[in-house]
Every structure is written in C-alpha cells, then in structure tokens.
Amino acid sequence: MRVPARRLAWLRAELARWQAEGVIDAETAERIAGRYAAGRRVSLERLVLLLGGGFLGVGLIWLVSANLDRLPPLTRFAGVVLVWLAAAAAGEVLRSPARAEAARLVTVLAAGGVVFQAAQSLQVPAYASSLLGVWAAGTLAYAYATAAVGPLLAGVALASVWYGWYVGEQGSRAAAVAVSLVVAGVVATSAAVLHERRWRPGFAPAWRLAGIVLALAGLFVAAFPGVAAGDMYGSPALWTGLGAAALAAGAAAALGGAAGRREVVPVVLMVGAALLLAAWAPGDGARYAAGPDAAQTLRALAGTLVYILAAVWFAAVAARRDLPALVYLATAALVVFVTVQSFAVFQPLLSGAALFLALGVVFLVTGVLVDRGRRRLMEVAR
C-alpha cells in the first residue's frame, strides 16, 4: 500500500519505538513496514498553482510577442527581466512548496522571454536553435542552483528539443533525429545513475523519467516503416552526441556499480538498435504506402520487436525501483506504439472492414496482455 511519505516516516518511528520497548521483534517490524511504500499525491492547491504559473509565463511571452511593434525594445526587455527577477526571488522566499514551484515555473518561462528578447534586440533570428540551447543551459543551471526538480525537468526537455533541432538543422532526416533522441536517453539514464550513487539522489527520478521518454520516443520514430538513414552519418552533432553518450555511460558503469551497469547497458544497446534500423531501409515511405514487400515487412516486425523489448525493460526497471508512474508510462507508450504500428503495417495490406477487424483484434489482445504484464510486474516488485 502506498501512503504519504510523512505518514510512512511516522510509522517507521513508531515501529522502532515498539521494538525498543519489546512489544514487537525486528522481524515483525520489518514485515509491517514492508506492507507500505512512500507515495506522493498532487494536491489541488499544487495543481492550480502550477497551472496558474504556466499560464502566466506563457501569457507574458505572448503579450510581449503581440506588441513587438508598439513597445520600445528597451521597455520590452526591461519588463521581461523584472518579471524574471521577481519570480526568481519569490521562488526562494515563499515557504509553501507549492507556491515556490509555481514561482519557479514562471522564472523558467520568463527566462525564455529574456533570451528571445535579447536575441531580437541583437538581430538574431528567432528560429535559430542556439537560442533554445541558451534557454536550456540557463534552466539547468537554475535547477541545480536551487535544487528544484521542476526546473530540472523543464531544462532537460528544452535541452532534448534543442539537440534534436540542432541535428535536424544540419540537413539530416528523421532517422538522425530519432537516433539523437535515443542518444539523449543514454545521457539522461547515465545521469540518473550518477546522481543516485554519487551526487543528488533527489534528481535521479527526474533524469530516469527523461531517459525513458527520450529513448522510447527515438525508437518510436526509428522503428516506423519508411524511415531511412539518408545522410545522418555525416552529421557532426550526432557524432558529438554519440561521444558524449559513450562518456556518460562509461562513467555510470564505472561509478554506479553492478546496478548502474544493468540499467545503462540496455539503453546503450538501444542506440545500436536505432542505428541498425535507420541503416536498414528496404524502401522509402512512398514505396511502402504502395504496398510493402517482404523486406519492408521484416523490417517493420524487427522495429516492433525492438520497441516492445525496450518498453518492457523500462517497465521492469521502474517496477523494481517501485516507481509505478514510470510503469504506467512505459505501458502507455507500448500500447500507443503497437496501435500506430499496427495501422501502418495493416493499412497497405487490408482495406475496409478487414482493416478494422484486424486492428480491433490487435488492440484487444495488446490491451489484455499489457495490463496483465503490468500487474504481474508490480506484484513481483512487491
């Protein structure tokens, strides 16, 4: 049973006191404590404040963008900077965790406004990926300076989008962007292991969440029929990312112990699988839509198998670490992938009622199997 962390701490203190008084023995205390696990509920106050902070930050950027021609550049820049500084100060002064999180969310969004306003004043194109990179770097620095998980998640998301955008700017196709996402997943997973073992344990779940999302998103695109490598192997950004991923994975394997190696090595293998899927291109998307041949069908089945194994692995890791939210995430990703992939595979082969019948059977079987698998994983973890 999952209970709030505060109540779990109280229960453990009581069990220790009862054991010291001789009311229960150590085995009984351990058996009672094993029935409960820490859980966290999102309160209505926290949800409303986060939504309010998000709307306020987006509204600020929108307001400034809509009035670019009406306000002097210095006035626009000064206004956004004042909001940014005020929100940053409020995030450190407010004692309520929910209010502080909302203020920090406004700080992150206002920082983006500051970056883009400064770039506009310096005549830097707004569509340049470098602006997003500066925003991501500043957000990550802010997250570590304040030890806040919310800005960390925002910074990782911004950095991931920036890296994929940067790879795409070099003329690469979808396959290169897909591989870059899996590469970012290796870096995030390695960061989770290093934070858990050596640095900030509180940041490990956020990095682990990012690793799962990035790796599954990249494999989703790489496994899709018709995705070809193109000129991805000539992308300096992709090779730089592969080098960074190798260094991060090596550090995690060396410093994270056996558990760290068991978590990082499979994600590294996913990068290899994504590269092989990108290189294995029997035909382009137009040819596949006209009707898949045996090689294309085999490639689609191989991509499906890779994605299923990756999603099941992430679900198992989350269940072993008692992270039910990540188990649900991996389960949902698997269901969505099988749904989309089934439509892509059967649509060129079947039409009309036969297509709907085949997809209906696939959806029902997938739903039953995935739900039973998720329940089994959670039972084994307990």
Q: DSSP states of 195-259 as a string?
A: HHHTS-GGGHHHHHHHHHHHHHHHHHHHTSTT---TTGGG-HHHHHHHHHHHHHHHHHHHHSHHH
How far is Cα 285 from Cα 296, in angstroms, rounded to an integer? 10
Using CA atoms, how far apart are residues 330 and 93, in angstroms rounded to an integer? 37
Measure the CA–CA gap between 189 and 295, rounded to whole angstroms: 33
- C-beta separation of 374 from 315 below 8 A: yes
- Per-residue pLDDT at 290: 47
Give the position of tokens 């290899």. 272
Q: How many residues does the chain have?
A: 382
Long-range contacts of 152-159 (CB under 8 A, 24+ apart): 152/203, 152/206, 152/207, 153/206, 153/209, 153/210, 154/105, 154/108, 155/108, 156/188, 156/206, 156/207, 156/210, 157/210, 158/132, 159/133, 159/184
Torsions phi, psi for 304 (to 5 deg): -65, -45
Domains of the chain: which residue ranges? 1-41, 168-382
Handedness of CA 292, 332, 155, 122 (dihedral sign): positive
* Beta partners for residue 39, in sequence order: 4
Is residue 244 packed enough to be buried (19+ CB in 10 Å), middle (13-18) or exposed (0-12)? Answer: middle
Q: What does each C-alpha distance from 71 to 56, 131, 337 come to in angstroms? A: 20, 22, 47
Q: What is the pTM of this model?
A: 0.72
Taking CA atoms, 240 is separated from 125, 194, 341, 363, in Å, by 25, 21, 31, 40
| Tokens matching residue 192 | 């989770």
Please tell me the distance from the alpha carbon of residue 134 to that of residue 126, in angstroms, as a whole number.
12
Element of type H or E holding 3: strand 2-4
The reported pLDDT for the residue numbered 27 is: 77
Q: In this structure, what DSSP letter does residue 4 have?
A: E
- Report DSSP state, residue 2: E
Q: What pLDDT does 281 receive?
A: 64
Distance of alpha carbon 38 from alpha carbon 5, whole angstroms: 5
% of the chain with per-residue pLDDT over 70: 66
Give the pair of three-digit tokens for residue 90. 């409020």
Structure tokens at 120: 């506009």
Summarize pLDDT for 246-274 with one digit per residue, the tens.
Answer: 999 999 888 888 888 888 999 999 999 98
Give pLDDT, residue 286. 46
C-alpha span between 308 and 216 (Å, rounded) = 10
pLDDT at 131: 85
pLDDT beneath 70, residues of the chain = 1-11, 34-71, 73, 123-126, 171-173, 198, 225-234, 281-294, 296, 342-382
pLDDT at position 338 is 74
pLDDT in tens, 77-89: 787 788 788 888 8
What is the model's pLDDT at position 93?
Answer: 84
Helix (H) or strand (E) holding 37: strand 37-39
User: Model confidence over 272-296: pLDDT tens digits?
Assistant: 998 888 877 655 444 444 455 567 6
| pLDDT value for 191 | 92
Contact 204, 264 (CB under 8 A): no
**Given this model, what pLDDT does residue 31 score?**
74
pLDDT, residue 247, reads 93
The whole-angstrom separation of Cα 310 and Cα 338 is 13
Paired with 37 in beta bridges are 2
